[in-house]
A = this chain, B = another copy of it.
Amino acid sequence: MSEAISPLATPFPALPMIAGVTPRVARARYKEWDRCDLTFVELAEGTSVAGVFTRNICCSSEVELGRAHVAQGLARALVVNAGNSNAFTGYRGREAVEQIMDQVAAHLGCAREQVFVSSTGVIGVPLPKDKAKAGVEAALTAQPCNWLDAANTIGTTDTFAKGATATAIIGRQKVTFSAIIKGSGMIAPDMATMLGYIFTDANVAPALLQRLLSKAADATFNCITVDSDTSTSDTVLAFATGKAAHARLEDESSEGADAFAAALHDICRQLAHLVVKDGEGAQKFIAVSVSGAVSDKSARKIGMAIANSPLVKTAIAGQDANWGRIVMAVGKAGEPADRDKLSIGFGGVWQAKDGQPLPDYDEAPVAAHLQGQEISIEVDIGLGQGRATVWTCDLTHGYISINADYRS
């Protein structure tokens, strides 16, 4: 947490503890720093787990093993290492992860497959086994901590602690979600991976939890971009302890499954937005809403082409309603579009319609909107019913300073 705090930062919310979830933190000293850098979260027996992981094929051992472990559906513990991503470290890196899993499994008396490990930080250096061992040892017996401590401990280059909460009613029973996340962007020589963890006391079958998490992630985490780059370690895990007194959600038709899915989606959206708001150098939060595409998928692809365009992102940084750059980004997305049916607006004011600038376009409200911190861009393709919204931040001198202005 070394950089200046993001101007888009929000205060850490009051996150309730979740029945069956006990977070603890410790100092493994993966780097030369005096802060907690190892998070250990103990989960009640019978906790369901689901996960979504980076699509980067050069992924870390943590991701490989996590993906395999999620398949069996149950979790007893989560360990997060900060300061060393353990990525690109071959078999030695994998051994360190397995050592942590075995150490925790032995302590809890569970299978190795029920222990989940994430790491974030410098790459190319195998996670030091001795530091990991002592750190885990300390964490296993530490006093339980609150969510703010845990959120700070999983952070690396984050400029503020990020958490979110939500509730849902399932069969007259209130269930609660608390979640923490770190990210985004990458800062050399560290990779500031996105790692998110969602905890709930709801009682949910693992397969259903996985389907609902995948669906929610698709419309939230998979709809954000900071700089188009993808970490080798991105991970979001959801844990449901089943401590709430409601009938188990077995599938989408179970009573309350809709409410649970809505709350899960809400918390994923909150977390995803927090990641964008801590984007490297971000000064503005940008929502790009695309309508009228031939399909939702096509709309999202067009939205991401806009959100990833350096020219669009610098225009927003410059508070410039540069619709020409948006035309350009739509055209390069590789999706069906027709120049003469395209409409583009900012902050709800159409600037160009049907492929031509509006002659009576009123610049004043758009200029005022672009001076704010939350910017919206509306694009209508004019071809169909496909819709999507994606989120990003602007591209500023801050991004260059963080990522270029150093020597290794």
B124–A314 contact, CB under 8 A?
Answer: no
> What's the Cα separation between A228 and B310 when bound, in Å?
8
Smallest beta-carbon distance A334→chain B, Å: 8
List chain B residues, Cβ under 8 A from A58: 327-328, 330-331, 337, 339, 342
With A57-B337, A339-B58, A403-B310 in contact, do A329 and B229 touch (Cβ < 8 Å)?
Answer: yes
- Chain A, residues 345-388, CB within 8 Å of chain B (1/0): the string is 00000001001110000000000000000000000000000000
A324–B191 contact, CB under 8 A?
Answer: yes
List chain B residues, Cβ under 8 A from A59: 331, 339
Total interface residues in chain A, CB < 8 Å: 64
B399–A332 contact, CB under 8 A?
Answer: no
Which of B123, B230, B352, B404 is within 8 Å of A88, CB to CB? B352
Integer count of this chain's copies in the complex: 2
A56–B229 contact, CB under 8 A?
Answer: no
B229–A310 contact, CB under 8 A?
Answer: yes
Is the C-beta of A128 less than 8 angstroms from some C-beta in chain B? no
In the complex, what residue of chain B is closest to A190 when comparing beta carbons? B324
B189–A322 contact, CB under 8 A?
Answer: yes
Is the C-beta of A180 less than 8 angstroms from some C-beta in chain B? no
With A56-B331, A404-B396, A408-B320 in contact, do A228 and B309 touch (Cβ < 8 Å)?
Answer: yes
In the complex, what residue of chain B is closest to A320 when comparing beta carbons? B408
> What's the Cα separation between A404 and B355 when bound, in Å?
25
A310–B399 contact, CB under 8 A?
Answer: yes
List chain B residues, Cβ under 8 A from A329: 229
> What's the Cα separation between A231 and B324 when bound, in Å?
10
List chain B residues, Cβ under 8 A from A396: 400, 404
> What's the Cα separation between A231 and B325 when bound, in Å?
9
Is the C-beta of A47 less than 8 angstroms from some C-beta in chain B? no
Which of B188, B308, B406 is within 8 Å of A228, CB to CB? B308
> What's the Cα separation between A332 and B124 when bound, in Å?
18
A189–B324 contact, CB under 8 A?
Answer: yes
A229–B309 contact, CB under 8 A?
Answer: yes
Smallest beta-carbon distance A369→chain B, Å: 13
Q: Could you write out 15 A-B pairs with CB less than 8 Å apart? A: A57-B337, A58-B327, A58-B337, A87-B324, A90-B340, A123-B327, A186-B328, A228-B228, A228-B309, A229-B311, A310-B399, A317-B404, A321-B408, A397-B404, A399-B400
On A, residues with C-beta under 8 Å from B are 55-59, 87-90, 123-125, 186, 188-189, 191, 227-232, 308-311, 314-315, 317-325, 327-332, 337, 339-340, 342, 352, 355-357, 394-397, 399-401, 403-408
